[in-house]
Structures are given as C-alpha cells and as structure tokens.
C-alpha cells in the first residue's frame, strides 16, 4: 500500500509539473510581441478599418484559455496539433528529431560520466586536491556552452558530442571528486587497502556500491544539464534535433511545436527525478 501510494503521489506530481510547463509556455508565447500579427495586416489592399478588425478578431480567437483548451483537447485525442510555421502535423516534425537528440544525449552522458568518473578517481586518490585536475574543470565551468560550441565551430575541431561531453564532465567531476575523497578515507576502505586488496576490486566491490544513491542523484542532474545545453549546441552546430526545433518554434511563436517539445523535456526531467529519488522498497525489489 505504501509503495502504491508513493507511485500515485509521484504520478500526480509529474502531471502537475507538466501542466505548469504547458501553462507557462502558453502564456509566454501568447503574450510575446507579434504573436497576434496577421500577414493580411501588411496587405495594402486592406484599409485601416479592415486591418484593425483583423487584429481584434485575432485577439478574440487567441485568448489564453481558448488556446489552452484547444491544446489540451487535442492531446487527449492523441493529436498534438499543426505547426504554425511549417503547416504540418507536429508529430511529423518531432518523431524523426527525437532519435537525433536522443543519440546525442546518450553519447554525451556516457562519455561525460566516463571522463568525470575516471578523473575523479585519480584526483581523489591523492591526499590533497591537485590543480592538475581542478584547474581544467574550473576553466570549463567558466566557459558558457554557446561560447564553447562557437570556439569549436570556428576552429573546425570537435563537434556537438565533444562540447556536451566536456560540459557534463566538468560539472560532474566537482561532485564526484568531493564524494570520493570522503569514501577513500573510510575506515573499512583503509583497512582493505592495508590488507593489499587491489584498487580495481575496491572500486567495483566497495566504492561504487557505497555511492550509488549519490550517483543516481547525479544522473538526474546530468540529464537536466544536458537538456539545458541541447538548444544552443544544436542551433550552433545545425543539428536537426529537438533543441533546434524548439529554438525555431520560439523564434516564430509556433505554439503547438513549442508546447510539445517542452512537454517532452519536462517528462524526461521528472522521470529522471523519480528514478533518482525512488524509495528503499523499490531498490530492494
């Protein structure tokens, strides 16, 4: 019963977060300058009175609550609407781009985790923090994602996976290094090292299992970081993924596309948070 109640509570929280994302995105798009503009208003064949009537009609037909109800009604029927910019169903725009963005996210997270974990294990094994490991991470954290991507693009070296990997590795390294320094000084670990147990065996048998909750929390942070960086990276490198689609939708006030992309990102973040914060009963199963 406790597990079922916890699942229901988490599901309700997820739905609430998605609803807030939808309402917030709709408000931002609806009240953005120029959203109610009509191409016919620029036609010289229409008089001032006709253009004013067109503007008033657009304001009446695009009220905030009407926009929300239309989008919600379409989602309940499995229809995400039609793109305002491309005039095609939103599903046809999102489906091929999800694979591109998913592949980029997966490769970047795997490479970033591998690099940060290896660097943190080497750095934390010493007695004092070493500038050899700390300085590169601090430098990468100080460089914005868009600037890093622009540098790689201008230098014609590297790509979106490299930029995302370095960004995630720099952020995760600081967290892992601090945790591993405490673990290396654990009394049981010191005793095991004194008995001559090899370092690889200590890492797999003791260190990684002992920091599993922290690693799960870090996984959520990595997903959030990757999603926040996916838009500038895909735009600068012209990657045909969801980030580039979201940017174009925001620039052209394409509400159906923008809502669909932000909803997918919100679901991904909340699902990752549910995994990292799962109760002990789930882990026992």
Distances (CA, A) of 158 to 3, 123, 142, 148, 178: 46, 26, 19, 10, 29
Q: Is residue 158 part of a domain?
A: yes
Q: Is residue 56 part of a domain?
A: no
Q: What are residue 46's phi and psi, to 5 degrees? A: -90, 140
Summarize pLDDT for 94-120 with one digit per residue, the tens. Answer: 889 999 999 999 999 999 988 888 888
What are 219's two structure tokens? 């996984």
Highest-confidence range of 15-19, 43-47, 280-284, by mean pLDDT?
15-19
What pLDDT was estimated at residue 55? 55
pTM of the model: 0.73
Q: Is residue 51 part of a domain?
A: no
**Cross-strand bridge partners of residue 82:** 89
Highest-confidence range of 25-29, 84-88, 99-103, 266-270, by mean pLDDT?
99-103
Q: Please tell me the total count of domains within the chain.
A: 1
Closest to 228 in 3D by CA, of 251, 273, 262, 272:
262
CATH number of the domain where residue 221 is located = 1.10.3720.10
Structural domain of residue 16, as residue ranges?
Answer: 2-37+63-284
Kind and range of the H or E element at 168?
helix 160-184
Q: Is residue 151 part of a domain?
A: yes
Rg (CA), the chain: 24
Q: Is residue 145 part of a domain?
A: yes
Q: Is residue 44 part of a domain?
A: no
281 band by pLDDT with thresholds 50, 70 and 90: very low
Q: Which residue has the higher pLDDT, 179 or 27?
A: 179
Q: Is residue 86 part of a domain?
A: yes
Three-class HEC string of 81-99: CECCCCCCEHHHHHHHHHH
Distances (CA, A) of 282 to 2, 273, 274, 275, 276: 11, 14, 11, 10, 11
Q: Is residue 123 part of a domain?
A: yes
């Amino acid at each position: 019963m406790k597990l079922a109640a916890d699942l229901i509570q988490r599901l309700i929280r997820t739905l609430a977060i998605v609803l807030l994302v939808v309402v917030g995105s709709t408000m931002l798009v609806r009240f953005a300058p120029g959203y109610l503009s009509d191409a016919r208003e620029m036609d010289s064949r229409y008089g001032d009175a006709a253009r004013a009537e067109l503007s008033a009609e657009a304001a009446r037909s695009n009220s905030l609550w009407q926009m929300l109800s239309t989008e919600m009604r379409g989602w309940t029927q499995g229809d995400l609407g039609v793109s305002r910019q491309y005039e095609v169903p939103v599903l046809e725009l999102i489906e091929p781009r999800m694979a591109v963005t998913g592949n980029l996210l997966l490769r970047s997270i795997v490479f970033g985790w591998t690099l940060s974990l290896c660097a943190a294990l080497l750095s934390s094994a010493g007695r004092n923090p070493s500038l050899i490991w700390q300085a590169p991470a601090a430098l990468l954290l100080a460089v914005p994602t868009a600037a890093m991507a622009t540098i790689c693009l201008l230098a014609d070296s590297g790509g979106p996976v490299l930029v995302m990997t370095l960004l995630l590795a720099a952020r995760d390294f600081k967290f892992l290094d601090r945790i591993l320094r405490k673990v290396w000084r654990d009394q049981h670990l010191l005793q095991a090292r004194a008995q001559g147990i090899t370092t690889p065996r200590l890492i797999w048998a003791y260190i990684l299992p002992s920091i599993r909750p922290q690693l799960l929390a870090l996984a959520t942070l990595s997903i959030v970081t990757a999603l926040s960086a996916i838009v500038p990276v895909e735009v600068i490198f012209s990657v045909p993924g969801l980030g580039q689609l979201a940017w174009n939708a925001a620039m052209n006030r394409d509400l159906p596309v923008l809502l669909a992309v932000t909803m997918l990102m919100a679901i991904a973040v909340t699902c990752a948070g549910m995994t990292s914060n799962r109760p002990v009963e789930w882990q026992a199963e």
